[in-house]
Amino acid sequence: MKKILASIIYLIIGISVTYPIQFQFNNQPGLKYRNKSITRQIIYYNNQFVKSTEGMNKALLEVIELTTNNNALYHGRFYYYERETRLDSSFHLMNIYESRFERDKQGNMNISGEFLM
């Protein structure tokens, strides 16, 4: 049994070293992405409970063009929603952010200072 398990592990390691897999973004103009994230916060001030909130970010991203070094230029619109969890209320739109940034195939982003939130 130990020999079979050792053989399987050796085979898996050998294949993964011989044939490495690299994740890359498929940057094509017109490609669109949607992202959604939720954060929960419990806020205290001077050890006194203030409120409990949830924030939700929704992003709509589109590849506008490819740059000369084959990076993708994105245009994005980010919607920020918030609600108080104690009241069990629905999310309310608080702000909308516009953004432009460049991303290479490995996911590294270059964002100018005017678009950082």
pLDDT 10s digits, 43-64: 899 999 988 889 999 999 999 9
User: Edge-to-edge strands of the sheet including 48-66?
Assistant: 32-45, 48-66, 72-84, 92-103, 109-111
Contact 71, 87 (CB under 8 A): no
7-33 pLDDT, tens per residue?
777 767 766 666 666 777 788 899 999
pTM score above 0.75: no
**Contact, 81 vs 54, CB < 8 A?**
no
Q: Is 73 a residue whose pLDDT tops 90?
A: yes
pLDDT at residue 46 in the model: 94
Cα–Cα separations (whole angstroms), residue 105 to 22, 67, 88, 91, 97: 10, 12, 41, 34, 24
Residue 97 in this model has a pLDDT that exceeds 70: yes
Position 70 scores a pLDDT of 83
Any idea which of 2-6, 38-42, 92-96 has the lowest mean pLDDT?
A: 2-6
